[in-house]
């Protein structure tokens, strides 16, 4: 990636390694050059090598010398870098097949449950296109099946555009490093072939759905105190993954979330990080949990439609010498650090308070059970190679498994890999 560009309108060279970009007299320059390409002239920024009359590798490859600015992780820090336009990711056949299968599954499930469905739904002005728009008693949910890389700014922009049309965005991905995680309401499923996505077999939500946990911090508490590490005598609440709940909750399936999000049984939550209030996380939760959370914390879950976003790492300015060489062809070979996992298993939105809430103790709200039609049970049994009456739920995530045969396991392979259950 290049560390500088030429501004064709001002006729200046910009050094991205300096906080003032080498032009302290232009305080709004960074905001101008980092805005989306669709909102500014495409030829605003030019490759320095091409501007100086050298051999721009991009131009030699029959591309344009125009550039855009993005963040990139380099050696543990984040920096501004310049890359050639057009920066487009052409979906691979594998990604395209998965994307199509996921859209078809969402539409099929919603239709089967009597919900209104539109695929490739386009807004009146044509600016917003939703993969699958599902409408139910709780409102409109815009599902986006994301199997190819996407930038955080694109996720934010498209989500804000959807909310402006009274559509709740819901992004589904298989990638735990995806930039969409915690940039908008999301859900993560397993990385499986497109044939598995298209099948009637259950797909579990592995991330993005949590449950509210409330407990009194005493010496006998099953959870440590998140504030002091020892019993403080106060009350705590937080959002936890199903397997970390006490008592344990069952996981939510993809098909279930398709229905419950449209019916209003699951709601999107925007929770702040207790260590850094500028950072937020998005999650889906049962409506009863969300209402209780509102009573306890007084938090507002409505995400901002505009304004600065603080959940990205701060940019580090190294004040290097301006480099005029063209690095086209080197821009996507992963010279930076590997992408870190964006989702974590820790509690989100932890809150501490002094007075006991109403009815803080409860039984699991989602008991483990298997809901299959006779036809679905026969299809699953055929997939598993067992009689239909031996199909049962995984005790941790409720996915259908060969549960009741000789030496059959209690859990599915995915849960066995991450738990102590047989």
Give 372's strand partners. Answer: none
What is the mean pLDDT of the segment spanning 347-374? Answer: 70
Q: Is 36 in contact with 345 (CB distance < 8 Å)?
A: no
In 3-state terms the chain splits into helix, strand, coil percentages (rounded to 5) of 25, 25, 50
pLDDT mean across residues, the chain: 82
Per-residue pLDDT tens for 388-412?
Answer: 989 988 877 778 899 888 788 888 8
* Cβ proximity of 67 and 85 under 8 Å: yes
Higher pLDDT, 6 or 395: 6
The average pLDDT across 268-296 equals 84
Higher pLDDT, 209 or 124: 209
Map tokens 């399936």 to a residue: 253
Question: Which of 91, 81, 84, 42 minimizes the C-alpha distance to 60?
Answer: 84
Contact 141, 262 (CB under 8 A): yes
Most confident range (mean pLDDT) of 84-93, 96-105, 147-156, 295-304 is 96-105
Say if residue 307's pLDDT is above 50.
no
144 bridge partner residues:
171
How is the chain split into domains, by residue range?
A: 4-84, 93-209+251-311, 374-416
pLDDT average, residue stretch 179-206: 92
Q: Name residue, tokens 């190294």.
A: 318
Residue 421: per-residue pLDDT? 55
Beta-strand relationship, 235-240 and 211-216? antiparallel
Summarised one tens digit per residue, pLDDT across range 16-36 is: 999 999 999 998 899 899 887
Secondary structure class of 169 (helix, strand, coil) = strand
Whether the predicted model's global pTM rises above the 0.85 cut: no
Nearest to 151 by CA among 183, 114, 190, 195: 183
pLDDT at 337: 42
61, exposed or middle or buried, with CB in 10 Å at 0-12, 13-18, 19+? Answer: exposed
Choice among 9-18, 37-46, 142-151, 282-291 with the minimum mean pLDDT: 37-46
**Of 59, 344, 61, 321, which is closest to residue 188 (Cα–Cα)?**
344
pLDDT of res. 308: 42
Name every residue whose Cβ is closer than 8 Å to that of residue 54 and which is 6 or more positions away in sequence: 324, 326
What does the DSSP 8-state code read for residue 142? E
Q: Is residue 228 over pLDDT 60?
A: yes
pLDDT digits (tens, 9 = 90+) for 120-142: 998 888 778 899 999 999 999 99
Q: 334 pLDDT band (50/70/90 cuts)?
A: very low
* Backbone phi and psi for residue 259, each to the nearest 5 degrees, phi listed first: -80, -50
CB-side neighbour CA atoms (13 Å) of 17:
11
The HSE-up count of residue 351 (CA atoms within 13 Å, CB side) is 22
Please tell me the predicted confidence (pLDDT) of residue 52: 84
Q: CA 395, CA 411: separation in Å to the nearest integer?
A: 6
Percentage with pLDDT > 70 across the chain: 83
Q: How far is CA 393 from CA 111, 179, 311, 330, 408, in A?
A: 25, 33, 38, 49, 12
């Amino acid at each position: 990636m290049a560390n500088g560009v030429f501004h064709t309108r001002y006729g200046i060279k910009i050094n991205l390694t300096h906080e003032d970009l080498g032009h302290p007299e232009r305080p709004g320059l960074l905001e101008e050059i980092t805005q989306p390409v669709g909102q500014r002239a495409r030829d605003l920024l030019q490759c320095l090598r091409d501007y100086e009359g050298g051999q721009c590798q991009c131009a030699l490859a029959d591309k344009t010398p125009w550039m855009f600015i993005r963040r990139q992780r380099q050696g543990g820090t984040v920096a501004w870098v310049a890359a050639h336009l057009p920066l487009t990711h052409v979906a691979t056949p594998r990604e395209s097949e998965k994307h199509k299968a996921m859209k078809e599954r969402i539409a099929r499930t919603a239709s089967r449950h009597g919900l209104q469905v539109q695929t490739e739904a386009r807004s009146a002005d044509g600016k917003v296109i939703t993969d699958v728009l599902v409408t139910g008693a709780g409102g409109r949910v815009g599902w986006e099946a994301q199997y190819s890389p996407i930038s955080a700014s694109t996720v934010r922009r498209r989500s804000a555009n959807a909310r402006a049309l009274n559509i709740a965005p819901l992004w589904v991905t298989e990638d735990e490093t995806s930039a969409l995680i915690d940039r908008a309401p999301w859900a993560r499923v397993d990385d499986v072939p497109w044939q598995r996505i298209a099948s009637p077999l259950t797909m579990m939500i592995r991330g993005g759905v949590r449950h509210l946990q409330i407990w009194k911090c005493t010496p006998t508490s099953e959870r440590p105190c998140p504030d002091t590490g020892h019993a403080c005598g106060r009350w705590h609440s937080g959002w936890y993954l199903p397997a970390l709940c006490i008592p344990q909750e069952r996981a939510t399936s993809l098909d279930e979330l398709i229905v419950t999000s449209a019916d209003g049984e699951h709601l999107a939550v925007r929770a702040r990080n207790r260590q850094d209030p500028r950072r937020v996380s998005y999650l889906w939760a049962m409506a009863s949990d969300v209402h209780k959370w509102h009573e306890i914390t007084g938090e507002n879950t409505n995400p901002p439609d505009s304004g600065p976003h603080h959940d990205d790492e701060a940019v580090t300015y190294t004040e290097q010498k301006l480099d005029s060489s063209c690095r086209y062809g080197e821009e996507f070979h992963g010279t930076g650090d590997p992408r870190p996992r964006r989702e974590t298993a820790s509690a989100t939105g932890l809150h501490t308070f002094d007075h006991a809430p109403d009815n803080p103790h409860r039984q699991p709200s989602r008991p483990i059970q298997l809901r299959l039609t006779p036809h679905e049970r026969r299809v699953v049994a055929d997939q598993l190679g067992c009689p239909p009456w031996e199909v049962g739920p995984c005790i941790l995530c409720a996915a259908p498994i060969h549960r009741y045969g000789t030496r059959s396991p209690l859990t599915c392979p995915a849960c066995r890999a991450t738990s102590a259950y047989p």
